Every structure is written in C-alpha cells, then in structure tokens.
Amino acid sequence: MAVRKMKLSLGPLQYLWSRQDTFDFYDLMTSLPVDIIYLGETVCSKRRNLKTGDWLDLARHLTEQGKQVVLSTLTLIEAESELKTMRRLCSQDDFLVEANDMAAVQLLSERGVPFVAGPFINIYNARSLAFLSRLGLRRWVMPVELSRASLKGIFDAPEAKTLEQSLETEIFSYGRLPLAFSARCFTARAHKLSKDNCEFVCGDYPQGLQLDSQEEQTVFTINGIQTQSGDVYNLLPEVADMKKLSVDILRLSPQREGMRDVIHHFRDAIEGRHIAALSSDAYCNGYWHDEAGIFEIKPL
Amino acid sequence: MDLVCPAGNYPSLKAAVNQGANAVYIGFKDDTNARHFAGLNFNDKKIDQALDYAKSKGVKIFIAINTYSQSQGWPRWKQAIDRAAQLEVDAVIAADIAVLDYAVSTYPELNLHLSVQGSATNYEALRFYQQRFNIRRAVLPRVLSLAQVQALAKNSPVDLEVFAFGSLCIMAEGRCHLSSYVTGESPNMCGVCSPAKAVNWEQRGDVLESRLNGVLIDRYQKDVNASYPTLCKGRFRVNGEVVHALEEPTSLNTIGLIPELSKIGIKAVKIEGRQRSPAYVQQVTQVWRQALDHYARAGDKFAAKKEWTDVLAKVSEGAQTTLGAYLRPWQ
C-alpha cells in the first residue's frame, strides 16, 4: 500500500453529554490537531440532546473550520424510527457516512456512494474487506478485538492486492473500547429504572459508570445499552509501529477529561517528536498484542 | 412453526430426531462454528451417520459455519463450506461476509441461513444479506421486543427463525466482545464465550469463588447454587452495590409466546444448547414438540402447561427463566 501521511481522527461521542458540553467540546476540537471528526449518536436513539439537524449543523461548522467530518450511524437498529434517522444520514451528499450496522451498508452501497465501515461491521479477513470495497467501502475501522497480527494477516492475504490503493485503515487507538450492545439499558438497571423510563440517567456519567469485580478490579464501564472496557485502551506506544504497518488513521474516542493532552501526545508521536507518557492512569492494550483485551502489555 | 434443535454429538442428534425436531443443527469439529468446545461436534464419520439417520426420519440437517475467519485460517472455513456442499445438507448457517460470498458464488444451490452471529436486527440489514448472498432465512438476535419482531416480520425479505429456549445472550450476538476482553477468546473469533479453559473454581473457607482468567465473576455462600461464570451473568460492584449488573443467571423461555410468534409468521423456533447433554436435548425437544402440536390443535385456546414449564425450569441456568428482550420491561 502507498505511503500516506498518518491522520488523527476523533471517534463519535459515545456518552450522553449536555447540549452545551457537547458544543463546547467540539468547539475546543477546532483548535486541536485532529484531521477527521466523526459526529452522531451511535449508542442510544433515545438520546436527543442533539437532534439529527443539530449534528448536521455542527458538521457544516466543523467543515468550515477545516476538519473532515464523517457522520456516524446508530449501531443497534431495532425500530422504524431508528431506520428513518439512519436513512436521513445515508441519503445526504455533503458528508461521508460511517456505517455502524449492515442496514447502513445496504443503503449506502445501493446508492453507490463511498462509505466508512465502523468497528462493529464485522470485517475479520481480507476477503470481507475486498467484498465491501467492491461495494464502495473507502475506509474501515478494524474490529476492536482484532490484533496487530490479525491486521498483518489481512494486509498479507492475496485478496489485499485487489484492494483499491485509496482504501484507508483506521485503528481504535485511545479511549474506552466499545465491547457490546444490548437491548437492555444497564445504566437504567443500576438505578432500578426500565429503559422506557430511564430518566436519561446515563447523562450523569459523562465517562460511563464503572463496574468493578467484588475485589475492586475495574472490569467494564457501562454506558446505557453499551458495555465498554473498564480501562482506557491506549496504543500511544505503538504509533511508530502502526506507521510501519501502513495504518492510515488513529481513532481517539472522546473522553470528558484530558482530550487536549491526548491529541497533542498522539500528534507528537505521528510527527516522530519525543513523546512523553500519558498520565499514570491504568490502561489496557491486550487486544493489539493478541492477548485478552483487559491486559496491559508493557514494552520490553 | 418448525422446531430447530441443537446437537453437539450423535446421541443428542438421535434424541432430537426421535423427539420430533423438524431440523437439527450441528457443527464440524473445529473453530468454524460458535460452539467450539472440547469433545463436542462431528467428525467426518459421525456426520455421515447423522445425515443418514436424520434423512431416514425425514428430519433436516443444518450445519453451523458461523464464526468469523481470520485471514490466516481461511482454508478451514473454505473446507467447511466445501464439505457441507458435498454432504448436500439442508442449510448452512453462516455470518461472515467472506464465508457467505464464497458459498453463494461456488455453490449457488446451497441453502444459506444468516446466523444470529450476523447480527441483523432490522429489515435493511436483512435486505443486504438477501440481495448479496441470497440467504433464505435469518436467525434473529435476542435483542428485539415482541412488537419489534412483529414489525420486522412484516417487512422481512426472508423467513425468520427466533430463539425459543436456552441460555440467554443479552448482548446483540455477533457484536459482543466481553469474552475476548477478559479471556482473549470470543464467539466471533474462536467460537467460544467464557471458555472452559479460562474458568477457575476456588473454595475459600465457606465461600466458593468463580473466576474467568483470574477475574472474579461471583462468590457463593455455602448451599447456594453456583452458575457457570459467564461475564454477563456475574455479580459486580456498581455504585457501591454488589449486584448482577448486567443479567442474572437465567434462561430464555418463550413457550407462552407460541401463538404470538406463529401469528407473526415466524418460520421456525430454535432451541439453544449444542454444548448441553443428550438428556437436555431429549427433554427440551419433547416439551417443545408437545407444545407446538398442542397449539396446532388448540389454536387460541393454547396455554403453556405446568408440566412443560417445570421440565424447562429444571434444565435452565439458575433454574429460572425469562422472556428476555421480547418483554419490554426486561429491557
């Protein structure tokens, strides 16, 4: 694959933040060195602090500020109303769309427009990648449970030679990993509420609600119907290696705290400048090293 | 509605056939299927025997090739499809785009079902698999309410099969990485969830602890029934309280929904449990056959009998059952 300049992306906001906090956050992003920004609600269709029109307005604003904007669709689509929102995103022509469900792949490929496959479009091998690239796939985010070795296997497979040179590979590199989606809202359950009467309690947890084992090990984070990794996934020490592997884009997933530093650290790593370690929080990176995702494999 | 039953070995298959299953689903002895457990599944000889037996009784055989191949392992998935086609099985249950694409382009006559691992929860996703791979049927993830299943059935381009009974996945199947996050192995990649080799039981005084790859899943006081340590059924500390934060150990049981599912136009109901014993398959198939036959005769007067629910409760995880996501308040 051709050598291209590695880019930084800001993944879709996974949490429910207030309207003002959301706008403030993206306002801050205009001044920071991220190249691509993914916008939209990917977790729960009940969240409406920003409506589809608001996201589109924000998309136009960020584009004017020089960012490439991609609209992300909902991951678990069950209801007609959710299909309707997804159709609206997939039928506009101003922005690229990240499909997070095969429904969006269907609509975008039927329209014959280029699209991005999010981390829950199950691309585990080069054949699937080649198949979707024939349908218009222009960029894919590797499923988070796959490793460096899986990625290498995909790039080395014979089918990889049939891929368009322009196809971009994006790796989830920082943030709490999206691990699962359910019909049930776990944040509501923790408050003894049902999903239909959730009172939007997930809004009280701007970085999710921590779920520990009975011996105080952080295991997961719950975020509405989504389950995330307990610790933040962090591939900062792997940036140089990812460059060698021809990874095109590093995805940073919005966290409430410290994104400015995170973005600068990753930018420095891409530019080959001296990189300081991130804060001393616990991180995980096992997936990249072909181990259980929860582990943190320290460099030798 | 057809009754689709699991078999992890030949005695289970015989039990399912003898008790009135319309179809039995099985897997090859490798990681190409989502129940890749030690001692389970069918080698070449056993699969011939299984097909002969099922055919002689007019029962269909479906082969699950429903995990996701990684590039290095592709020959195993390719061989599995080749073998299924040679065996002229009644259907292959698959999820991976690469597997579906290979199957439909190499063996256009092969009947393809979309596995629950394909994670299609709406009709646009189903249209994708129907148009691109000519799937004839899809198994729905256990995340939809009854009203949502009904709406989906109205617009579905293919026949639908739903889970009727067995262990309850509470996450959208095919989009759950909890197991690999803690153990390194997941249903999509390895055909296992919370794999047995990662399980550890430890007695500490009066307390029995269950662990998965070292992570404490639950603690049981003396005389309390312990459950297999699946991550989504563990007890965790959340907001200062130790609770089943995701779900309790429980099984799905929809026997009371037979009339509704039938009226919606659901083509088949599926029993989970290829990893369970022949006795389980025998009992569950028998009860469900009786219930479906009873519905065929009684129609709207159908009511689930206590003797059925008693049998099913006995073989259920945690000896309790739920309607799961079919019932809105569960969500």
Rounded CA gap, A129 and A154, in Å? 9
pLDDT at B176: 97
Cβ neighbours of residue B5 under 8 Å, at least 6 residues apart? B16, B19, B21, B23, B24, B25, B271, B281, B284, B285, B288
Of A274-278, B57-61, B219-223, the range with the highest mean pLDDT is B57-61
Picking from A213, A290, A296 by the largest number of B CB atoms within 10 A of its own CB, the best residue to mutate is A213
> Would the CB atoms of B177 and A293 count as touching at under 8 Å?
yes
- The SS3 of residue B3 is strand
pLDDT at B85 over 70: yes
> Would the CB atoms of B330 and A227 count as touching at under 8 Å?
no
Percent helix, strand, coil in chain A, to 5, is: 35, 20, 45
Residues 38-67 of B with CB under 8 A from A: none
Instruction: Tokens 């604003």: give the residue.
Output: A61
> Would the CB atoms of A215 and B216 count as touching at under 8 Å?
yes
% residues pLDDT > 70 (chain B): 100
Instruction: Report ipTM (2 d.p.).
Output: 0.97
φ, ψ at B195 (rounded to 5°): -60, 145
Which residues in chain A are closer than 8 Å to B96, comparing Cβ atoms? 122, 124-125, 128
Residues 68-97 of B with CB under 8 A from A: 68-72, 74, 95-97
Q: What does the pLDDT average to over B91-95?
A: 98
Is the minimum CB–CB distance between B144 and chain A shorter than 8 Å?
yes
Rounded CA gap, A8 and A18, in Å? 25
% residues pLDDT > 70 (chain A): 99
Convert the pLDDT of each residue in B132-147 to its tens digit. 999 999 999 999 999 9
Provide the token pair at B43.
């080698």
pLDDT at A277: 78
Residues 126-165 of A with CB under 8 A from B: 126-128, 131-132, 143-146, 150, 153-154, 156-157
Q: Which of A73, A121, A76 is CA-nearest to residue A95?
A: A73
Q: Which of A239, A217, A238 is CA-nearest to residue A229?
A: A217
Q: What does the pLDDT average to over B65-76?
A: 94
Report the sign of the C-alpha dihedral through residues A25, A31, A33, A34, in that order: positive
> Would the CB atoms of A125 and B325 count as touching at under 8 Å?
no
Distance from CA of B329 to the nearest CA of A (A): 6
pLDDT at A3: 64
Provide the token pair at A185.
């809202």
> Would the CB atoms of A229 and B181 count as touching at under 8 Å?
yes
Per-residue pLDDT band at A249 (split at 50, 70, 90):
very high
Q: Which of A215, A229, A201 is CA-nearest to residue A295?
A: A229
**DSSP characters over B299-320:** GGG----HHHHHHHHHTSGGG-
> Would the CB atoms of B148 and A144 count as touching at under 8 Å?
no
Nearest chain A residue to B124 by CA distance is: A103
Q: Which of A75, A109, A292 comes nearest B182 by C-beta?
A: A292
Per-residue pLDDT band at B321 (split at 50, 70, 90):
confident
Convert the pLDDT of each residue in A197-248 to its tens digit. 999 999 999 999 999 999 999 999 999 999 999 999 999 999 999 999 999 9
Rounded CA gap, B296 and A254, in Å? 54
pLDDT at A2 over 70: no
φ, ψ at A290 (rounded to 5°): 65, 30
Q: What does the pLDDT average to over B24-34?
A: 95
Q: What does the pLDDT average to over A101-118?
A: 98
Q: What is the largest CA-CA distance in chain A?
A: 53
Rounded CA gap, B144 and B148, in Å? 6
Rounded CA gap, A198 and A193, in Å? 6
> Would the CB atoms of A106 and B68 count as touching at under 8 Å?
no
- The SS3 of residue B90 is coil
Q: Span B2-168+250-330: which CATH code?
A: 3.20.20.70
pLDDT at A1: 46
% residues pLDDT > 90 (chain B): 90
Locate the domains of chain A by residue range. 7-176+233-282
pLDDT at B320: 81
pLDDT at A279 over 90: no
Q: Determine the topology of domain A7-176+233-282 in CATH.
A: TIM Barrel (3.20.20)
H or E, element range at A243 = helix A239-244
- HEC string of A78-121 equals CCHHHHHHHHHHHHCCCCEEEECCHHHHHHHHHHCCCEEECCCC
Nearest chain B residue to A106 by CA distance is: B128
Q: How far apart are the first and last CA of chain A?
A: 29
- The SS3 of residue A57 is helix
Contact A18, A226 (CB under 8 A): no
Locate the domains of chain B by residue range. 2-168+250-330, 178-243
Residue B246 is given by DSSP the state: S
pLDDT at A275: 74
Provide the token pair at B323.
């309607």
φ, ψ at A38 (rounded to 5°): -95, 130
Convert the pLDDT of each residue in B159-184 to its tens digit. 999 999 999 999 999 999 999 999 99
Mean pLDDT for chain A overall: 96
Residues 46-75 of A with CB under 8 A from B: 75
Rounded CA gap, B323 and B326, in Å? 6
Please give the single-letter amino acid code of residue B316. S
